[in-house]
Structure 1
Amino acid sequence: MRNSLMYGQLVFVMVMWGFNVVAIKVIVGQFSAVTITSLRIFLAAMVVYFILWGTKQVRLPNRQEFYYIFLISLTGIAGHHFFLSVGLTQTTASNAGLVLGTVPLFTSILAVKMLKDQLSVLRIIGIIFGLVGVSFVILVGNINGLALNAGDIYIFLAVLFQAISFIYIKKATETMGARLVTGSTLLIGSLLLFIISLVMEPNGIASLQNGTILGWGVFLASAIFATAIGQFLYNHAIQFIGPGKSSIFMNLSPFFALLGSFLFLGEQISIAHFFGFILIVMGVILGSGMGDRLIYKRRLYER
């Protein structure tokens, strides 16, 4: 019963995160990308801490917990959101959504190294499929034709940083609640991003004057729902069912990103996008180990 609730929770998060790619594309089009991202994440942190204060779950982490919190803040918040926001100023939301869909694949690869998972033949095939799918989206699905877009490379780096953070989230939530990990990492990550913005975007604060009512509305929705509530719910799922199973649901995020980019931004979805999407989904299913588990269950049933 608990797993069923977790799975439903993860589907809800993927809907929010898929459409959030479109939301961030709108936001960075009106404001300085890194500055507005640091403020969006800071607002999300305040929302989570408001919940923590209300439920009396705020406490100081010990040394080991702070070590994991800082690593998550550096990779999953500062690193991931920096490259995501900057990347979306140079590529389409549809491309970004598809590349972000490879997070489970790279989480699985990192788990081999960091959590001592084993690579089977199916998982190796899946990794190859996933990498080919990403390459297809970046090169063939590019709006400028067969070209390497810097924005897509930034999104790819955002994927790597987020995958690394999922491993550390699993370690951190072994002794800390998911809410406290979420609030702490969002707060520290937002401060790191703000420091970066002061160097990269000296006129970033001044750009806030350029926002429209739509832009600020999207900013609030993205910060409160996708970043605060979405990150908390996802970290909560990692705590109970692990990074591997949780990351499989990120297969759904590219679909909603494609749908949102078509409906709200009017972006053209090409055959290349769909072909890349199929390869990525196949790669994630095999590369994450889900194919191995299905074969194992089938053999048990046949016995």
Structure 2
Amino acid sequence: MRKNSALLAAVVYSIIIGLSFMFVKISLTYEGQLLILAQRFTFAFLGLLVFLAIRPINLRLNRKEILLVLVISLFYPLVFFSSQILGLNQITVTEAGIIQAIAPAITVLLASLFLKEQVQRIQALGIFLSIAGAVFLQLMNSSGGYEFHLIGSLFIVVSILATAIWQVLSRNATKTIAPIQITVYTMFIGLLFFNAVYFISGGSASDYVNSLTEIPYLMSILYLGVLSTFGTSLLSIYAISKLPVIQVSIFNNVATLVTILSGILILNEQFHYYHMIGAMVIICGVILVNVKSVSKQPT
């Protein structure tokens, strides 16, 4: 039962993440990056407070646990959300979604190094295919009348690395710290950090409030804050606490597909034949990365 609930949490997490790229792009058409991040974590924390009012928990941690949570928070939310929004400000949702497909391969590498989760030869082949697919896409983008967004792509890669490190650290942390405890502290740190950066950089309280009068923007921020920040943080940490990191990482494929489809079907972004080829190579590689770990799980 616990395994099934963890798998369900991973699926829901991936769908929410897949759609989040679209809502980030929508929000960027209304406001700047700093305001979006500040409001995103404000709503995430408000959602968290509602959750805690319904289900109170003990938040007490010892010094070692607090230090571990602080390290986790450095990568998620601070580095992850900062690099993600900077990247999405320069590249399309479709490009970001395809690059995101290499995330499971990177996660597998880190899990094998730090969690000693075994990597089979077929998984190594999958890692190679995932990276080769991403390189192919960027080479095609830069040579076919389609601008190569180097800086934006690098920011997305940084966000992928931050996610992988966060997952590995969280797997260790959940041995002694409850997933909801980690979520509470990371959300609170994100709230303080991004709001402080916004106001220190010259942001005004009037802009903070008035921006929320635009309904499409408000809906985007609500989605990004409550579901894509607070919700996915709790869901992913719960899944990682019950399943191997390598197995959980396979669900990033769902996020990648949802992201690509949302960019094409909803935002009307262009889709070229080489996007399909690259996406298929990446996804096949990621499946190879994870197939062994999934099959070795006890039934």
Same fold, judged at TM 0.5 (above): yes
Question: More deviation in 47-56 or 241-250?
Answer: 47-56
Question: More deviation in 169-178 or 190-199?
Answer: 190-199
Task: Work out whether residues 84 and 154 of structure 1, in 8 Å CA contact, stay in contact via their aligned partners in 2.
Answer: yes
Secondary structure of 2:177's counterpart equals coil
1:16 counterpart residue number: 16
User: By how many angstroms is 1:95 displaced?
Assistant: 0.9
Q: Count residues with an aligned counterpart.
A: 295
Using a 3 Å threshold, how does the CA distance of structure 1 residues 225 and 147 change in structure 2: closer, same or farther? closer
Task: Work out whether residues 78 and 190 of structure 1, in 8 Å CA contact, stay in contact via their aligned partners in 2.
Answer: no
- Tell me whether 1:186 sits opposite 2:187 in the alignment: yes
- Tell me whether 1:159 sits opposite 2:160 in the alignment: yes
1:110 counterpart residue number: 110
Using a 3 Å threshold, how does the CA distance of structure 1 residues 147 and 7 change in structure 2: closer, same or farther? same
Secondary structure of 1:140's counterpart equals helix
Q: How does 1:118-267 map to 2 (within 5 A)?
A: 118-141=118-141, 145=146, 147-198=148-199, 201-203=201-203, 208=208, 209-210=210-211, 212-267=214-269
Distance 1:204 1:124 in 2: 50
Task: Give the residue type in structure 1 aligned to 2:96.
Answer: A
- Residues 132-170 of structure 1 deviation map (CA, whole Å, 9 limit, x = unaligned): 122223332469526343111111111001110001111
User: By how many angstroms is 1:203 displaced?
Assistant: 4.1
Distance 2:100 2:58 in 1: 32
Distance 2:205 2:261 in 1: 32
Secondary structure of 1:102's counterpart equals helix
Using a 3 Å threshold, how does the CA distance of structure 1 residues 6 and 20 change in structure 2: closer, same or farther? same
Distance 1:273 1:187 in 2: 38
Task: Work out whether residues 139 and 145 of structure 1, in 8 Å CA contact, stay in contact via their aligned partners in 2.
Answer: no
Distance 1:34 1:94 in 2: 23
Distance 2:204 2:128 in 1: 40
Distance 1:270 1:148 in 2: 16
The alignment's C-alpha RMSD in Å is 2.4
Task: Work out whether residues 16 and 225 of structure 1, in 8 Å CA contact, stay in contact via their aligned partners in 2.
Answer: yes
Task: Give the residue type in structure 2 aligned to 1:259.
Answer: L
User: By how many angstroms is 1:204 displaced?
Assistant: 7.0
Task: Give the residue type in structure 2 aligned to 1:69.
Answer: V
User: By how many angstroms is 1:127 displaced?
Assistant: 1.4
Distance 1:260 1:213 in 2: 20
Task: Give the residue type in structure 1 aligned to 2:76.
Answer: G
Task: Give the residue type in structure 2 aligned to 1:132.
Answer: A
Task: Work out whether residues 35 and 204 of structure 1, in 8 Å CA contact, stay in contact via their aligned partners in 2.
Answer: no
Using a 3 Å threshold, how does the CA distance of structure 1 residues 46 and 175 change in structure 2: closer, same or farther? farther
2:55 counterpart residue number: 55
Distance 2:282 2:191 in 1: 30
Distance 2:243 2:102 in 1: 19
Distance 1:123 1:223 in 2: 35
Percent identity between the aligned chains? 23
Task: Give the residue type in structure 2 aligned to 1:106.
Answer: I
Using a 3 Å threshold, how does the CA distance of structure 1 residues 89 and 206 change in structure 2: closer, same or farther? farther
In structure 1, stretches of 5+ residues that fail to align are 298-303
2:25 counterpart residue number: 25
1:269 counterpart residue number: 271
Using a 3 Å threshold, how does the CA distance of structure 1 residues 292 and 6 change in structure 2: closer, same or farther? closer
Task: Give the residue type in structure 1 aligned to 2:221.
Answer: F
For normalisation by structure 1, the TM-score amounts to: 0.88
In structure 2, stretches of 5+ residues that fail to align are none
Task: Work out whether residues 44 and 187 of structure 2, in 8 Å CA contact, stay in contact via their aligned partners in 1.
Answer: yes
Question: More deviation in 24-33 or 118-127?
Answer: 118-127
For normalisation by structure 2, the TM-score amounts to: 0.89
Using a 3 Å threshold, how does the CA distance of structure 1 residues 177 and 144 change in structure 2: closer, same or farther? farther
